[in-house]
Amino acid sequence: MERKLIVTEDGSNSIFVPELNEHYHSTHGAVQESMHVFIEAGLKPMLQKKQKINILEVGLGTGLNAALSFLETELKKVQINYIGIEAYPLSLSEGSQLNFHEIIGGDKMRECIMKIHSSNRKYPFYLGENFILNYLEAKLEDIQFPNDSFDLVYFDAFSPGVQPELWTKEVFQKLYNAMRFEGWLLTYSSKGEVRRTMEECGFEVDKLPGVGGKREMSRAFKKIADFHHHEH
């Protein structure tokens, strides 16, 4: 699959896939979108609740979400275990052209991105003292997860229009089962059909304000019911 490096409106790079006519991020700003959807709506509120956080990313791609998650948690007393699944990994040469460090994080960002794309994807490695990254080359459809494992799922697949097979009940049910109670799955998509599919799997789905040309995004919660026993 051919891939082209592009520059989005906040100055940060993204990648365009001509074959799918699809970008890896919003063309209004890659860093802006990742910060909004995954860090602000997911990681930051989770940091208020827990100190040991397991994150699953579907579609690790450029590594931007993993690197931003590292920058956000590096100086905090937390332990992050991050699994990033990617079916079509970037080469080291593609990774080294990314300019995220010019927009946010400077040398630390650069170092993260280089570490990620130098990985042989065989063993987990430390992005920092408190942050283990397990970069897996695989298709989401082919992986089985243990139950009750993830506090956050960054669902960053290509859009439902170009990749409908990743937005199915089967896939969301697998992710629901793999998540811990009171965990969140985040996605930039707010399509009604996507939300309904997630609700069928047991999620409680909130619409949050979107970013970069999207009015809304979705945050799906693996809820524990408030159970009230009524005596009659």
- The residue from 32, 65, 69, 81 that contacts ligand SAM (CB under 6 A) is 65
Contact segment (CB under 6 A) with ligand SAM among 39-47, 134-142, 195-203, 223-231 equals 134-142
Number of chain positions touching ligand SAM (CB under 6 A): 20
Q: Which two tokens stand for residue 94?
A: 């593609």
Looking at beta carbons only, is 51 or 109 nearer to ligand SAM?
109
- The residue from 61, 95, 210, 212 that contacts ligand SAM (CB under 6 A) is 61
| Residue 109 binds ligand SAM, judged by CB under 6 A | no
Count CA atoms within 13 Å of residue 228 on its CB side: 3
Looking at beta carbons only, is 30 or 53 nearer to ligand SAM?
30
Contacts of 231 (CB under 8 A, 6+ apart): none
User: Which of the residues 40 through 59 are near ligand SAM (CB under 6 A)?
Assistant: 58-59
E strand or H helix that includes residue 177? helix 169-178
Distance CA 134, CA 54 (A): 11
Looking at beta carbons only, is 84 or 183 nearer to ligand SAM?
84
Distance CA 140, CA 199 (A): 20
| Residue 7 binds ligand SAM, judged by CB under 6 A | no
CB of 87 to ligand SAM, least distance (A): 4
> Contact, 176 vs 184, CB < 8 A?
no
DSSP for residue 46: H
Q: Mask of contacts with ligand SAM, 135-164, x by CB under 6 A?
A: ----xxx--------------xxx------
Distance CA 137, CA 129 (A): 23
Largest CA distance in the chain: 69
Q: Which residues contribute to the site for ligand SAM (CB under 6 A)?
A: 24, 34, 58-62, 64-65, 85-88, 139-141, 156-158, 166
